Amino acid sequence: MTEFINPSLVPKRKLITGEEIPCIGMGTFGSDRFSPDQVAQAVAGAIRCGYRMFDCASVYGNEALIGRVFEQALAEGVVQRDELFITSKVWNDMHGKGDVLLSCAKSLQDLQLDYIDAYFVHWPFPNYHAPGCDGDSRNPDSKPFSVERFMETWRQMERLYDLGLVRHIGMSSMTIPKLEAVLPLCRIKPTVIEMELHPCFQQQALFDYVIAHNIQPIGFCPIGSPTRPQRDMTPDDVADIEVPEVVEVAKAHRIHPAVVCLKWAVQRGQIPIPFSVHENEYVSNLRCTTEDPLTDAEMDSLRNAERDCRLIKGQVFLWPGASDWHDLWDEDGVIVE
Ligand SMILES: NC(=O)c1ccc[n+]([C@@H]2O[C@H](COP(=O)([O-])OP(=O)(O)OC[C@H]3O[C@@H](n4cnc5c(N)ncnc54)[C@H](OP(=O)(O)O)[C@@H]3O)[C@@H](O)[C@H]2O)c1
């Protein structure tokens, strides 16, 4: 029988709107390792175990099956709709005029919901690549970031908010220069931002910027995505669960290093969204937020796990004329166009 962790014991984060959401969610990107059905079964198990936040996206290709799980859990009274916080995201090929609304309508239909709790612009580029394509593949139609184009997309996000179809709107994989350019133009500001965050990639400056703007960071790849497909790895990548700073804390607490990454994330203030289809893993990932916190000294020592190791480099979104994936991340403090 699935272990039940009472959701009322799981700490909450307060959004700027005053709404409280769980300090941890479950990721649902099965990549090419897990089928939509396996991910949906994990979501069903996770609801029974006490998860109340799920990070979905149209491009993950499993929203219809996850929607059936939500529908059944709600029908059976396992959970009430207002206890759940469900996210989804518009994919890069649906940024055009009217397309964001269509994409949201499809996600609502697939997820069998009347509203989505937080809806994200998945990437700030309209650049499409075939799912599962090789890391070196490029789409000749790809374009660099444009404030004007992004704001056309954002205006549609604001419209979804006005219509009550989404309760929060968010951005993902942004940089400080991009946020500086677009935030003043937003009629409705993002309340949440997804960004890659794990001990070996802490993005301290962006994290601080987001917090200072009253936006809640949601951290993806919180364990450092240790078993991602080979095509998403480069020789310089570091495995968070193997660095000495993380391993040492894991030994002291007699827990898996993956769980150290999650405790660190929650105590630092981001909302981690770890993925796993394995019940023992997703149970311990939720339970770890309710017990045995890291000490201040351990939190300090984990600062030194920083290796500036970005895992989701986004190279498949590069446009003709771009030099390499660093161009996507505005590392010199100006938007690369
Ligand atoms: N906004 C965006 O652009 C964006 C980008 C990337 C990801 N995301 C979201 O973030 C979620 C998480 O990212 P991710 O799946 O790439 O990486 P992750 O959560 O850092 O790593 C997931 C892997 O860690 C292992 N794991 C999980 N819990 C464990 C435990 N307790 N002990 C040992 N190993 C454990 C599992 O490996 P095994 O399966 O081998 O057991 C699992 O596949 C995604 O599912 C997605 O929802 C969003």
Q: Are 330 and 177 in contact (CB under 8 A)?
A: yes
Asked if the model's pLDDT at residue 331 lies above 80, the reply is yes
**Residue 116: C-alpha distances to residues 81, 90, 102 (Å):** 11, 12, 14
208 inside domain = yes
| pLDDT tens-digit map of 294-318 | 999 999 999 999 999 999 999 999 9
Residue 229 confidence (pLDDT): 84
Q: Per-residue pLDDT averaged across 135-158, rounded?
A: 92
Question: Two tokens at 207?
Answer: 């994290």
Considering its fold, how many domains does the chain have in total? 1
Q: Is the CB of 219 under 6 A from ligand 1?
A: no
Query: Is the pLDDT score of 133 beyond 80?
Result: no
- With a pLDDT cut of 90, the percent of the chain lying above it is 91
Residue 23 lies in a domain: yes
**What pLDDT is stored for residue 128 in this prediction?**
85
pLDDT digits 0-9 by tens, 44-55: 999 999 999 999
* 275 CB within 6 A, ligand 1: yes
* Nearest alpha-carbon partner for 118 in 151, 80, 89, 147: 89
Q: What are the pLDDT digits (tens) for 238-293?
A: 999 999 999 999 999 999 999 999 999 999 999 999 999 999 999 999 999 999 99
Cα–Cα distance between 123 and 319 in angstroms, integer?
14
Q: Region 136-140: what's the mean pLDDT?
A: 81
Both structure tokens of 167: 């309760």
Give the C-alpha separation, 99 to 133, whole Å: 23
**How many beta carbons lie within 10 A of that of residue 267, not counting itself?**
18
Distance 97 CA to ligand 1 centre (A): 33
pLDDT of residue 134: 74
Q: Is 39 in the pocket of ligand 1 (CB under 6 A)?
A: no
CB contact at 8 A, 20 and 51: no
Contact between residue 29 and residue 7 where contact means Cβ atoms under 8 Å apart: no
Residue 333 in domain: no
Section 322-329 average pLDDT: 94
Is the separation of the CB atoms in 36 and 65 below 8 Å?
A: yes
Atom 23, ligand 1: residue with shortest CA distance: 225
- Average pLDDT of the chain to the nearest whole number: 96
What is the structure's pLDDT at 317?
92
Torsion of Cα atoms, 73 then 55 then 249 then 48, to 10°: 0
Look up 60 and say whether it is catalytic: yes
CA-222 nearest atom, ligand 1: 20
Domain membership of residue 174 (yes or no) is yes
- Specify if 275 maps to a domain: yes
Q: How far is CA 65 from CA 43, 49, 70, 192, in A?
A: 10, 19, 9, 25
285 lines ligand 1 (CB under 6 A): yes
* Cα–ligand 1 centroid distance for 276 (angstroms): 6
pLDDT digits (tens, 9 = 90+) for 199-230: 999 999 999 999 999 999 999 999 999 988 88
Q: Which domain holds residue 60?
A: 7-228+237-323
- Where does residue 114 rank: exposed (0-12), middle (13-18), buried (19+ CB within 10 A)? exposed
Looking at the predicted structure, is the pLDDT value of residue 137 above 90? no
Residues 6+ positions from 172 with CB-CB distance below 8 Å: 89, 120, 121, 122, 123, 124, 193, 194, 195, 220
Q: In terms of Cα–Cα distance, which of 277, 247, 282 is closest to 264?
A: 247
Domain assignment present for residue 219? The answer is yes
- Could you say which of 51, 60, 119, 128 is catalytic? 60
166 belongs to a structural domain: yes
- The answer on pLDDT for 135 being more than 80 is no
pTM (predicted TM-score): 0.98
Mutate to test the pocket of ligand 1, among 34, 111, 276, 309 (most ligand atoms within 8 A of CB): 276
- Give me the CATH number covering residue 177: 3.20.20.100
With pLDDT > 70 as the criterion, what percentage of the chain qualifies? 99
pLDDT of the residue at 130: 73
138 vs 211, more confident:
211
Residues 6+ apart with CB under 8 A from 173: 122, 123, 124, 194, 195, 196, 312, 314
Please report whether residue 1 resides in a domain. Answer: no
Dihedral sign for Cα 316, 318, 322, 327, please.
negative
pLDDT tens, 30-88?
998 999 999 999 999 999 999 999 999 999 999 999 999 999 999 999 999 999 999 99
User: Which residue is closest in CA terms to ligand 1's atom 21?
Assistant: 225
- Say what the pLDDT of residue 254 is: 98
Mutational test site, ligand 1, from 5, 92, 264, 275, max ligand atoms within 8 Å of CB: 275
What's the pLDDT score for residue 126? 94
